[in-house]
Structure 1
């Protein structure tokens, strides 16, 4: 029997364990339903490399992800979530193999968030991260505009947390930019793997910082400075041995360093630029988010050499008004971009609010290129107080004429 190590440090004292706990040699250490009774008991479990069966491990991980999702949904403080241990209950549905990856972007976000929150204690991380990366690339290949729409909409929803959405969106933006620049498939996959995990050493803190209204403390500045190396160390402990992925993670804040692998210079610039691009569009308690146009200009204008080429490719690949973001039209309507256009400045849009701030319920996709429908200015997420129907957006996109 193969056994999977469990996150012993996340076992709450006095609460029942929902699975049998075994040593890595097959000795039963704790029966299902029994509690960890003390710190010493927990230390003993750790000394025996406490493990569970693969099916129990994945179901328990799924139960943890569901618990975190429900706490975020209910508005529980991030620091409280960070202190939460492994759940004492596993539902039957948690044992359904692959259920967590059978849906769309929000399902991926939920699974990834659970792995990132557990950091070095994550259960079976390599197989799960590989499944997430494969699913990301499959969804992106199937419909890049829908992928961007879902993730940019999720970026504005702080109830979902920030760290996993940031990671997925950086992966998508990096993959699209790498494709635009003609990078090989191995490099594109390494970029996605690195984007998903580059902040694993500070994922909980990343969510907390997104809601923090006070300046950074010295400890937080140190965490931000050191997290690339710590994230790479966590990945190596997981068993990641791809030198390119580790290089990208380790140097994503210092892409030009001479210590990094020379062959990954352009890829590192892509990841570093995507990281900054997405971060600038995310709201903070201490500042308003930049519009996509403002974020695109910040990575493109003033750049030189390879940085300029990467910035231009990213702006072209994603668009100045990416799907899922908002803009004001010349006729006074507020619209959401739903599909990239033939130019970065002319996306297809759906008007969702008229000039009198009344909701528009009939979704019709139009190209933002005519006199009445040209774009006047981008609109920040926080100013649009409407729920957008993704299904209605998809139906509107189906009516967009296809190129001959």
Structure 2
């Protein structure tokens, strides 16, 4: 495949792509027919590097059409961030917002249901996270993990959809401020701090103005920073709804495992331990910890044979995930990724690797790509 690097003028924001957009290795970033939603999305894609297949461009010039490739899950996850952005920007327009919210919610649910392991991988690795977009990515990951916990708890499908909508909209008034907060390490003005304190009420106000009348959705948004101890905000309530309690739990947990300018991400085991200690006997906390397991997808491990490997699937037991070996014991990247089952003694987990910098060099499409839940069996066999 011969690739041509694209420039901004070759992409029309809001129009369907007439060709497939690829990365420098030919991997699919956006499929033909998909839409670049905003200037911010285009800038992010250009920074990463956008390419087109020369053969496809020639076919277009000759009057032909480019067949659309089904976008891999990694591409759909990347696109979901911008769908959240577009949805929140429609909030003043009730009809447009409600339709966009339904569509975005359906996509989040479809992604999580189609491949729960990859969904967890996204929340753990937060791939390609740009701190200025933290508000958008955080909303997406809170919605995803809240859904997965709600499913584990056996909530009705209607409530599952509702908690996704609440998670996507609970910070509607501070999306940009969250990016500022992440980039500055928490150094905010008094006015910005007041905006943060009042954002649950402001988000509710915007949702009501857009026509949202579901009281459980609105209550979850209004109370997602309240605590049964009475130490929450903005009202210091003690009687806090179940959905709001779930949102706060997931919100806090994911904030702990997210990096900031002034601090690294907390280790997942430590974050889980803190959640457990702060919420003893809480079924919501117990379900969250069970969903992640001991070694969730996205965790980087050292194996008994010395290899560094990333978890890609939760295994039959908590202690034995399926992993993809990325580097040897000297830290040299492997020419070909190899899948191992850590239930086998020679590939048993020895330790969690604290230095995650290697992961920045391995995009998720190399680990999951076009493969579905069982497609990885066709890759390198377990040795």
Q: TM-score, normalised by structure 2?
A: 0.72
Which ranges of structure 2 fall in alignment gaps of 5 or more residues? Answer: 1-12, 15-34, 48-70, 379-383
Q: Tell whether the 8 Å contact from 2:181 to 2:187 is kept in structure 1 after alignment.
A: no
How many matched pairs?
314
Distance 1:214 1:146 in 2: 30
What corresponds to 2:190 in structure 1? 218
Quickly say closer, same or farther: Cα 1:385–1:193, change in 2 above 3 A.
closer
Give matches, 1:187-266, under 5 Å.
Answer: 187-213=159-185, 215-256=187-228, 265-266=241-242
Distance 1:292 1:397 in 2: 26
What corresponds to 2:252 in structure 1? 276
- Secondary structure (helix, strand or coil) at the match of 1:360 reads strand
> Which of these residues, 283, 286, 302, is aligned with residue 328 of structure 1?
302
Q: Tell whether the 8 Å contact from 2:308 to 2:328 is kept in structure 1 after alignment.
A: yes
Q: Tell whether the 8 Å contact from 2:253 to 2:275 is kept in structure 1 after alignment.
A: yes
Q: Tell whether the 8 Å contact from 1:176 to 1:318 is kept in structure 2 after alignment.
A: no
Q: Tell whether the 8 Å contact from 1:152 to 1:323 is kept in structure 2 after alignment.
A: yes
Q: 1:260: Cα distance to partner?
A: 7.3
Quickly say closer, same or farther: Cα 1:108–1:128, change in 2 above 3 A.
same
Q: Tell whether the 8 Å contact from 1:117 to 1:200 is kept in structure 2 after alignment.
A: no
Which ranges of structure 1 fall in alignment gaps of 5 or more residues? Answer: 1-17, 20-61, 76-98
What corresponds to 2:273 in structure 1? 297
Query: Could you say which structure has the larger radius of gyration?
Result: 1
What corresponds to 1:312 in structure 2? 286
Q: Tell whether the 8 Å contact from 2:169 to 2:203 is kept in structure 1 after alignment.
A: yes
Aligned pair 1:110/2:82, yes or no?
A: yes
Q: 1:389: Cα distance to partner?
A: 4.7
Distance 2:98 2:313 in 1: 33
Q: TM-score, normalised by structure 1?
A: 0.68
- Secondary structure (helix, strand or coil) at the match of 2:301 reads strand
What corresponds to 2:96 in structure 1? 124
Distance 1:127 1:314 in 2: 30
- Secondary structure (helix, strand or coil) at the match of 2:326 reads strand
Distance 2:331 2:80 in 1: 34
> Which of these residues, 227, 243, 249, is aligned with residue 267 of structure 1?
243
- Secondary structure (helix, strand or coil) at the match of 2:333 reads coil
Aligned pair 1:387/2:359, yes or no?
A: no
Alpha-carbon RMSD:
3.3
Q: Tell whether the 8 Å contact from 1:116 to 1:197 is kept in structure 2 after alignment.
A: yes
Moved more, 354-363 or 193-202: 354-363
Q: 1:287: Cα distance to partner?
A: 0.7
Distance 2:40 2:258 in 1: 21
Distance 1:162 1:266 in 2: 26
What corresponds to 1:164 in structure 2? 136
Distance 2:318 2:249 in 1: 18
Q: Tell whether the 8 Å contact from 1:354 to 1:360 is kept in structure 2 after alignment.
A: yes
